Structures are given as structure tokens and as C-alpha cells.
Amino acid sequence: MAHDLSSPDAAPQRPGASSVERWPGSSAARALSAAVRFITAPVRHLVDLWRRSIQARVVIGTLTLSAVLAILAGEVLLRQVTDRILDSKVDASLAEAAGGAEYAQSQLDSAEIGNFFDVGPELRNLIDSLARGDEARDQYDLVIIGPLSPSTGTDGSGGRLVSGAVTPSRSIPAALMQQVRAEPGSWWAYSTLYFNDRDRPAEPGLVVGSQLRVPTTGQIYALFHVFPLTEQQETLFVVRSALITTGVVLVVLLGTIAWLVTRQVVTPVRLARRIAERLAAGRLEERMHVRGKDDIARLGVSFNQMASSLQRQIRQLEELSRVQRRFVADVSHELRTPLTTVRMAADVLHDSREDFDPVTARSAELLQGELDRFEGLLTDLLEISRFDAGAAVLDLGDVDIRDVARRVDDWAAPLAAQRGTRVSVSVPDEPCYAEADVRRVERIVRNLVVNAITYGEGRDVEVTVATGSNAVALTVRDYGVGLKSGEEVLVFNRFWRADPARARTRGGTGLGLSIAIEDTALHGGRLDACGRPGRGSLFRLTLPRRAGDRLEESPLPLEMVEPAAPVAVGGPYARFPGSRGGMQ
């Protein structure tokens, strides 16, 4: 099973457990979640845009606010225009109806109506002459309701004379009819007009009613002037369309203006962001283009000053670091020659220590030990200098990492025995080949194993090797002092030691892991660590099987699996130095 290198703490998966097994019926759930994603994706996109872009926020805000304002203003305007148009229509219609009613009453007053049967023809003449009227007057229909013949009944509800196509029974509101019958004078109401012609749709209208009285018979009639409001409706429709069009154009214009104005501010900010990103990526010569003297230009000038200052400081630091590296390399080289001479002299003293008195003999031994340490430090420093100078090259060959693990195990046996540590090596049956520099890989593994023994507090150390399709991996697990949070990164820094005082007595220089990580990087591999204080640590080396291939996953997990049984502490093994554990 492969392990993602980008997430070292990824949860372990049960071998062979597929997602289908773990989630029965999950295909329906997947389809549902896909549908939800499809619906919510545009919303999320908008929210994302809103969060990320100041320009989008300003434009959307302006559009929303101006749309609300345009709707409110349009509503108020439309209401005022409607009131105006209808008021003037009502005034004109009432005047027209009053004139008509007056004329009708005067006609009735002067007519020679002897009895009930003369009323019908007289009213017919009246309605005809009123309907004809003059050309200039508004179009309206006339309706007279009242007793026109004995068959219409005493209340006259059945008798009606109509000029035009309006249907009185549906068009004249019942309340208005009652009012006109009950009281003399003029009354009016808005209504919906219906017509005999089925193809003609209902129209909004205004109905004005007045009482007519036949003086000779005393009969009461209701005269209705029915004014259609079609023209007013059309006018209002035109006004409404004009308002909507103006509103939409206004909102779009305001949105465009907001977009243009914010662009003026946002574009330089975006440019600054892009340049800052390039600076962060190491292109220190990048600068903002400054034009004019406004605030944005001043921002650009300050930004450029900041970039120049950063560039200067980084150059200085680089120079300092270069000088330091050079110094270390030169000093290490210079020390090499006198060290060889001192070493020869120390060897002579060490070999003849038996002839010295005990104090001098001990001094000769101490001198030998310190010289070993000094020589080790110089070798490490020279190696680091080679990496810094870019002089380190790989001597590639096919390396079976299992052999490396076994060789290092043998090599570390005396140290393990001395510390009472049992080292176990676990390797697969199949070969674990990688195209690598065997000397460097062995140096990495030696360092990891020596560290595990050194900081393992005499407890077991486990070396595991595995291979995947593209990578091979080796882990070294110990159950010693472990690493505190954050130390899994710090351990690879040069000269870093968790406990310098203690490390000095153990002989650590703090350079071993920094050389190991440089060696790993030369191979295009990865060296990772994890640990817990007092619970041990785990170091994992992953190398690509073919040199130069990109590493994506490691065949071994970077996780601290706790041992099933308590881990043995050195004691007993110290008595049997030859019996190191070997689980192969």
C-alpha cells in the first residue's frame, strides 16, 4: 500500500477495504451529493467571487442598491403619474356626465309626455341624441335603466336602453346602481367593462350615474355614462415601460461606472499583488510601474522602495552566507594538514601508552578520542561545503536497499551491543532496487541507525524496508527520547541538537541529518521524521526507483505504530553482545 508523501499523518486504511464495502448503498448518496454539488456550485462560485474580489463586491453592491432605489423611485413616480392621469379623466368625465344629465333632464321637463307609454320613445330619442353628441367629446356609452313598459316591473329593473356595446348588468357596479336610484345627484365608480361582442376583452372603465325624473308621470330613471379607460391604460403602460427601461439602463450604467471606478483602484492593487508574489518567488528585481502622483502612484513608489530594501538585505545576507561558507570550507581545508600531523603524533603516543604512567596514558587515550571527533567534524564540514559549492555528484548504480540495511546492521552491531540495543531488520523477499549512489545511501542509513541507537535509550530499534512501483523506502523506528512537536523539521537543520550539552557527551555534531537530507535531495528523494516525546521517533527515507523520477508516494507510512508488547530495554542484551536481534 502506498502512502501519500504530502500528508505524513494520513489515516491508515484497512487493506482491501474499498469505499463501496464501507458505505453500502453509497451510489445513491453519491448521485445525490453530485446533484447538490451541481446546484450549489454556481452559488459557491458567486460567494467565492464575493469573498475574493473587491471589484465584484463593489459592483454587486452598487447593482443591488441602485436596483432597489430604481424600483422604489419608479413605484412612486408611477403612482403619481397614475393619480394625475386618472384624476384629470375623472374630472373631465364628471363634467361631461353632468352636462349630459342636465340636458336629458331638461329634455324630459319640456317633453309632452302624457302617459307611461310615451316615456319609452322619448328616452330612446334622448339617448340617441346624447350618444350622437359632438365629435370633440370623449367616447362613452350611455345606459338608461328604469320602467320602460308595464312588463319591466314596478322597480324598472328589467328596462334598459343602451347606446354602444357595453353590457350594463355586468359593467355597472350594483352599489352604484343602488346609490343612483336612492338619491338624486351624480355618483361615480371605477369598474370593469364587459361588452356584447365576445371577442372584445374586458376593459377598465369609469361609470357616472345620475337620476332622471319624468315630471308628468313621476317615474325615476337612472342615466349612466360609461367611460372606457383604455387610453389611460395605454398611456400608463407606455409610462411604465419607459420607467422600467430607464431603470434598467440606469442600473446597468451605475454598475458599469462602479466597475470602471473600482478598476482604477483594483488594477494597481492586483498588479502589486502579482509583483509581491513574484518577489516572494525569488524574482527580486521585479518592480511596480509607477505613473502620475496620486495615492496609487505613491503606493507603487513605497512598494518599490520596500522591494529594493528587501533585495539589498537579501543580497547582503546571501553575500554573508557565501563568505561564511567559504570561510568554513577554507578553514576545514587549512585544518586538515595540521590535523594529519597531530594525528600521527597522537597515534605514536597512543600506541606507546603502556609505557606511560597512568595519568599520561589516560591523556593519550582522551587525545585520541577527541581527535576522532575533530576529524569527524572536519569530514562533515568538508562534505557540507561540497554540497554548498554544488560539487556533490552522484555515482549511480542499481542498489538493493535490503543489502544496505543488512550491511548497516552489521556495521552498527558493536555500538548496539555497547548500548544494549537490539536492532531488528525487516525486509521483503523481493529485491528493493533503486538507481542510487550506494555510498551516499549507506551514509544516510548509518546516520539514522546510529541516531536511533544513540537516542533510543537502549530500547529496540526496528529497520524496515519496502518497495513500491515507483519508489523504495526504509524506516528506522526507535522507542527512545523521541521528538517534540516541531522538532521533526528542526532535526534536519545544520548544527541543530535537541540537547546540545547531552549531545556533546554522545559525540553528536548536529551535522549528520543535514548531510543525510542533502544526500537524499541529490537523489530526488525525501527524508521525513516524526516522533513523540518519550515515545520514540521514526525516520523514513524514500527514494525513486529510477533516478530523476518524481516521487509521489512512499511504500511505507510515516506513522508511529505503538508496539504490541512492551519494548525491551537493553540490559540483558548487553550480556550477549553477539545475539543482536535479526528478523529477516
Tell me the closest approach of the beta carbon of residue 514 to ligand ADP, in angstroms.
6
Q: What's the CA gap between 148 and 150, in Å, rounded?
A: 7
Question: Quick one: CA torsion of 140, 141, 144, 149, rounded to 10 degrees?
Answer: 160
Residue 57 vs 532, nearer CB to ligand ADP: 532
- Considering only residues 394, 498, 522, 560, which one is a binding residue for ligand ADP as defined by CB under 6 A? 498
508 binds ligand ADP per the rule CB under 6 A: yes
* DSSP summary character for residue 421: P
Going by C-alpha positions, the residue among 474, 429, 467 that lies closest to residue 546 is 467
Residue 420 vs 480, nearer CB to ligand ADP: 480
What mask of x and - would describe binding to ligand ADP in positions 451 to 480, judged by CB under 6 A?
Answer: xx--x----------------------x-x
Q: What's the CA gap between 423 and 476, in Å, rounded?
A: 10
Q: Footprint of ligand ADP on residues 536-575 (CB under 6 A)?
A: 537
Phi, psi of 394, rounded to the nearest 5 degrees: -95, 140
Tell me the closest approach of the beta carbon of residue 452 to ligand ADP, in angstroms.
5
Question: Quick one: CA torsion of 450, 431, 427, 7, rounded to 10 degrees?
Answer: 80
Q: Which stretch binds ligand ADP (CB under 6 A): 186-194, 305-313, 510-518, 543-551?
A: 510-518
Q: In the 3-class helix/strand/coil scheme, how is 303-355 assigned residue by residue?
A: HHHHHHHHHHHHHHHHHHHHHHHHHHHHHHHHHHHHHHHHHHHHHHHHHCHHH
Q: Footprint of ligand ADP on residues 3-62 (CB under 6 A)?
A: none
530 binds ligand ADP per the rule CB under 6 A: no
> Which positions ≥6 away from 575 have C-beta within 8 Å?
none
Q: Which stretch binds ligand ADP (CB under 6 A): 45-53, 115-123, 309-317, 450-458?
A: 450-458
Tell me the closest approach of the beta carbon of residue 381 to ligand ADP, in angstroms.
13
- Considering only residues 74, 300, 512, 544, which one is a binding residue for ligand ADP as defined by CB under 6 A? 512
Q: What's the CA gap between 401 and 427, in Å, rounded?
A: 9
Tell me the closest approach of the beta carbon of residue 470 to ligand ADP, in angstroms.
27
- Considering only residues 353, 497, 532, 535, which one is a binding residue for ligand ADP as defined by CB under 6 A? 497
Residue for grid cell 531488528: 424
Residue 239 vs 490, nearer CB to ligand ADP: 490
353 binds ligand ADP per the rule CB under 6 A: no
Q: Which stretch binds ligand ADP (CB under 6 A): 22-30, 34-42, 319-327, 445-453?
A: 445-453
Tell me the closest approach of the beta carbon of residue 553 to ligand ADP, in angstroms.
24
Q: What's the CA gap between 283 and 270, in Å, rounded?
A: 17
- Considering only residues 67, 92, 297, 503, which one is a binding residue for ligand ADP as defined by CB under 6 A? 503
State the cell numbers at 525: 528523494
Q: Which stretch binds ligand ADP (CB under 6 A): 15-23, 154-162, 180-188, 496-504?
A: 496-504
> Which positions ≥6 away from 366 have C-beta within 8 Å?
none
Tell me the closest approach of the beta carbon of residue 576 to ligand ADP, in angstroms.
24
C-alpha distances in Å from residue 283, one per residue of 9, 268, 313: 34, 19, 14
| Encoded amino acid at 403, one letter | D
> Which residues of the chain form contacts with ligand ADP (CB under 6 A)?
447, 451-452, 455, 478, 480-483, 491, 496-498, 503, 508-514, 537
